[in-house]
Structure 1
Amino acid sequence: MTEDKKTHRLVKTPQISSRYLADYMAASEIGKRNILTACKYQAIARIVQHDEAKQTISKFFRSENPLVTDLDDAANHLRARMADSDFDRDVYDHNADYIDRFSKVVHIVELPNDAAILAPGQSPKIDIGGVKVSADIQFRLRRITKTNKVKIGAAVFRYAKGKPLKPEIASWQSAFLLAYLADTALEIDAEPEPKLCVTIDMYSGKTCPAPTDSVSRFKNMQAACAAIAERWDNIKPPANSVL
């Protein structure tokens, strides 16, 4: 009798990405339960990631003279790349689709004209209510006011093929960003600014800055994370999973 192949990896301590946390805050009770199950019991099967597309678009924003044709060329290059496996072929094609879609809506993206766009740098995890939360920053924003105060921000990309991001989820994501930058304090004497903390929907091109109620939203996230940490040990594995 052969041993069943493991299907999931157990995450023993409470952890969640900022993406999942934003989804969680806007989800139904069933949706919340599914998100926590996916965070605690991570599927071992390989999942297509959009890392190359995000890196390409981040560099596009940071370049001095960005051209939409640069995005088109990058997508074509991915489609022409030789793949060693069917999975690699899927990864290249999905990343090309991501870039293709964004190239069609890039003109809609609204960013402050007076802010410099910088490399993402390090994005350490932070502890919120006993839960380790990771951030997926794609580039940072920085501007200096007329009184020489330094204002900072950051951008995250959200993409789902075939559908735009729900505005409520984007608002939660950007509210998290504002609090995250205040918590990590990577630049001394720099203050996070709501309009510089943005979530960009790569499908629609819409840009969502941190909303005016970001402080209260983050308090709600803190309460939600405390509840997540409390119930973590009692989250049951998915049906038919093998650990």
Structure 2
Amino acid sequence: MSAPRPAAELFSLEGRTAIVTGASAGLGGRFATVLAQAGATVFAAARRTGPLRELAGSHPRIHAVTCDVSVAADRVRLVETALAAGGRIDVLVNNAAMPGATRAEEESPDAFADVLGVNLTAPFHLARLTAEAPAGERVGGPSIVNVSSILGLVSAAPLGGASYAASKAGLIGLTRELAGQWGAAGTRVNALAPGWFRTEMTADLFGDERSARWVGRNTLLGRGGHAHELDGALLFLASDASSYCTGQILTVDGGWTAR
């Protein structure tokens, strides 16, 4: 930014247009809500129409877009929908993901490719569509936040998954490369790498007493995370508070990777 701003304004997204994928449940729903509360008009995308409409009904600035990110035409339609309403896209949160099989020997090459299609190819395509979209009156480029994972940084065997880990590690590499290619145009690309959070995807993990103890034992803060504990990190990366930050991986994991 060319001049300092009051601290209270740094995290504001007033007047901005945002897209959040995988918004029908878990962290995605929370992400959409947080951006809307910060002032953004949010286009919340997911396959499940019911939960998505419920999310949209919870805040007037959230708009539901039924979208399967594994389908290229749906990705294009999502971006076009946001552009038609807002004239530009200021924030993209690539959150949609699928887990894949836990054991590598139980995962077929086709299933592996399906996971990479949702978790890596779709974020690349959406990032490109966002970066190439008209800027309107905005100075500089959009802020792209790729939601990776600590499983893109370290192994969590026996609870990991080959395709999931590969896709999340690939997303980190993609983040750095796109940041390098698009930085001169003002487009910022960063990644958020959550640790073990209580979501729909980890319900079985935290529902099992032994597994929950394993998380607590191996996390420096002694517990799993709660979705709202990602609010500040997301807003930092999405807003002007991180105007001089690109190509970075912000890990929010209670100290898991610091062991």
Structure with the higher fraction of residues in helix conformation: 2
Structure with the higher fraction of residues in strand conformation: 1
Which structure is higher in RCO with an 8 Å CA cutoff and minimum separation 6? 1
Which structure would you say has the larger Rg? 1
Q: Report TM bin, short chain.
A: under 0.3
**TM-score, normalization: structure 1?**
0.28
